[in-house]
Amino acid sequence: MHKHTIDNFQSGLVWFRRDLRLQDQHALFLALKHCAQVYCVFVFDTDILNPLPRQDRRVEFIQASLVNLDEHLKKFTQSSEVRLITLHGSAVQEIPSVAELLEVQAVFTNHDDEPSSLKRDSTIRGKLAAKGVSYFDFKDHVIFERSEVLNQTGKPYGVFTPYKNAWLKKVTELDLQSFDIRPYKAKFATLKPAQLKRLPAQMHGLEDIGFELTNLKELGVHTGIDGGEFLFKDFLKRMDLYNETRDFPSVKGPSYLGVHLRFGTVSIRELARTALERSRAGSAGAAVWLSELIWRDFYAQILHHHPRVVTKAFKPEYDNIQWEDDKAAKKLFAAWCEGQTGFPIVDAAMRQINSSGYMHNRLRMVVASFLVKDLGIDWRWGEAYFAKHLIDFDLSSNNGGWQWASSSGCDAQPYFRIFNPTSQSERFDPKGIFIYRYLPELKGLGLPTLHTPWLAEPMELLGAGLQLGKNYPHPIVDHAKARERTLMRYSVVKATKS
């Protein structure tokens, strides 16, 4: 499973990052296998944290998940002396420094293929080497990574379906096998008195790292290993119906495991193994959910092979498009961000992300298409907004999704396919349950007018206590006209291709 030849060491350090669990954690398993003693550490990395707002649901999710990880560590080892060390500072300084303090011979961690993370890890590897400390990293976040799934000419796939077929053909029991740490329980190290003096006495709280509580608890977000396990068990009862329920935002259709996959509080191998077994047993829901997990791998390998997608279109000709970016465009963008576009499904979705850090997947496509193809605004603006607000934000998937919606990405929808927000609303929230939940100002409007308040008769608006332009906006764009403008805007792509 791994390409490293690993010696045996007296002591090693496991650096936790996107893998906040004990069971089936690749780096932890190999550290325990090859070291007589193993320390566990997490760094609240100031290089990542400093630019963030002081209230950030992700940071709170991570901190709560670390508390849970520490509890599991104590329970697993049956020792209150074994603990997860947390540090606060730049990882580039902290990891070499703690490796020296703990006198370890090796640091073990799992891959993080985002460009900035690769740069950080390369620097740390060099600093550790200068101190004579080995550095090992492993695949843990996806089933297949980097160049593991290539086409017959040895090139990476740029279209999802052939990639998925190759993925399914390649996958074996070994790829999905769990890394069992139970035989190595006794190898977790306890800190010596001299080390204790130089390390934080306890786990960092949110306030210790300069952050404040968000509404995470009120939202009922399940954190940590326990939260991931609870949600997965809950989804198992619904997985077979996933294909029928996943597109309707008012229905409990999705797994809600996105944030747990992002921070590794669940194992991707366990999820994919379950989905594959059920899919092979004839479950259509499991087959569609497995596809979603394969999309994660697909987008991760796109980012690995084409890191330029972070700032540029996957298809270069799409960077010739002239996006709106004047004062009027900025005003339209602000209306989109605030859920004030006058299109109820778009507004409800944007208010969902603003109030909870989550957005239903179908709605991610609807609001992205609206921003890019109705308002003519650069997909990168929307991508950055999602990156700031989504609790399950993952660079490769978020970038892939936005480039898909703007038609500039790999295997994207064709540029002339433009979602109609009204028909999307009528189709996927037919009873308006989702819209009513997030737009209480429309509660007096009946169906079908709820989907198109601007078409309501004056008496209906009066009865609903609604004044368009006052307590709910007029549509900020005419969809039919916007569609024409988009086809014109995208004509440069056609010109480049011909």
Check whether residue 382 and residue 278 sit in a common domain. Answer: no
At which of 257, 280, 305 does a domain end?
305
- Give residue-wise pLDDT tens across range 253-262: 999 999 999 9
How many domains are there within the chain? Answer: 3
Instruction: Note whether residue 3 is domain-resident.
Output: yes
Q: Which residue from 387, 473, 260 is spatially nearest to 368, judged by alpha carbons? A: 387
Answer yes or no: are the C-beta atoms of 297 and 167 closer than 8 Å. yes
Check whether residue 92 and residue 157 sit in a common domain. Answer: no
How many other C-beta atoms are found inside a 10 Å radius of the C-beta of residue 109?
Answer: 25
Point out the catalytic residue in the list 167, 289, 379, 404.
Answer: 379
Structure tokens at 116: 């900035």
- Give residue-wise pLDDT tens across range 143-197: 999 999 999 999 999 999 999 999 999 999 999 999 999 999 999 999 999 999 9
Enclosing domain of residue 66: 1-141
- Decide if 167 is catalytic: no
Answer yes or no: are the C-beta atoms of 164 and 298 closer than 8 Å. yes
Bridging pattern class, strands 106-110 and 9-16: parallel
Q: For 137-267, where are the alpha helices, taking DSSP H only?
A: 160-170, 193-198, 224-236, 242-245, 258-263
Point out the catalytic residue in the list 323, 324, 354, 454.
Answer: 323
Point out the catalytic residue in the list 289, 295, 336, 381.
Answer: 295
Check whether residue 355 and residue 442 sit in a common domain. Answer: yes
Point out the catalytic residue in the list 167, 289, 381, 402.
Answer: 402
Identify the pLDDT of residue 497: 59
Check whether residue 446 and residue 478 sit in a common domain. Answer: yes
Q: What's the rounded mean pLDDT across residues 107-112?
A: 98
Check whether residue 358 and residue 294 sit in a common domain. Answer: no
Check whether residue 91 and residue 160 sit in a common domain. Answer: no
- Decide if 402 is catalytic: yes
Point out the catalytic residue in the list 100, 292, 324, 460.
Answer: 292
Identify the pLDDT of residue 4: 67
Check whether residue 13 and residue 39 sit in a common domain. Answer: yes
Identify the pLDDT of residue 498: 47
pTM of the full structure: 0.96
- Decide if 404 is catalytic: no
Instruction: Read off the CATH number of the domain in which 256 is found.
Output: 1.25.40.80
Please tell me the distance from the alpha carbon of residue 147 to that of residue 155, in angstroms, as a whole number: 8
Instruction: Read off the CATH number of the domain in which 482 is found.
Output: 1.10.579.10
DSSP character string of 44-62: EEHHHHTTS-SS-HHHHHH
- Decide if 323 is catalytic: yes
In sequence order, which residues have a C-beta less than 8 Å from that of residue 111 and are 6 or more positions away? Answer: 137, 138, 139, 140, 141, 145
Identify the pLDDT of residue 3: 56
Instruction: Note whether residue 190 is domain-resident.
Output: no
Check whether residue 285 and residue 352 sit in a common domain. Answer: no
Please tell me the distance from the alpha carbon of residue 50 to that of residue 91, in angstroms, as a whole number: 13
Q: What percent of the chain is modeled with pLDDT above 70? A: 98
Instruction: Note whether residue 198 is domain-resident.
Output: no
Point out the catalytic residue in the list 145, 361, 420, 441.
Answer: 361
Identify the pLDDT of residue 123: 98
290 vs 29, 188, 242, 271, 360, CA distance in Å? 25, 35, 10, 8, 18
Check whether residue 375 and residue 424 sit in a common domain. Answer: yes
Instruction: Read off the CATH number of the domain in which 34 is found.
Output: 3.40.50.620
At which of 120, 141, 162 does a domain end?
141
Helix axes 327-338, 379-389, angle to 10 degrees: 40
Check whether residue 279 and residue 323 sit in a common domain. Answer: no
Instruction: Note whether residue 443 is domain-resident.
Output: yes
- Give residue-wise pLDDT tens across range 444-467: 999 999 999 999 999 999 999 999
Residue 1 has pLDDT above 50, yes or no: no
**Cis previous bond, 453, omega within 30:** no
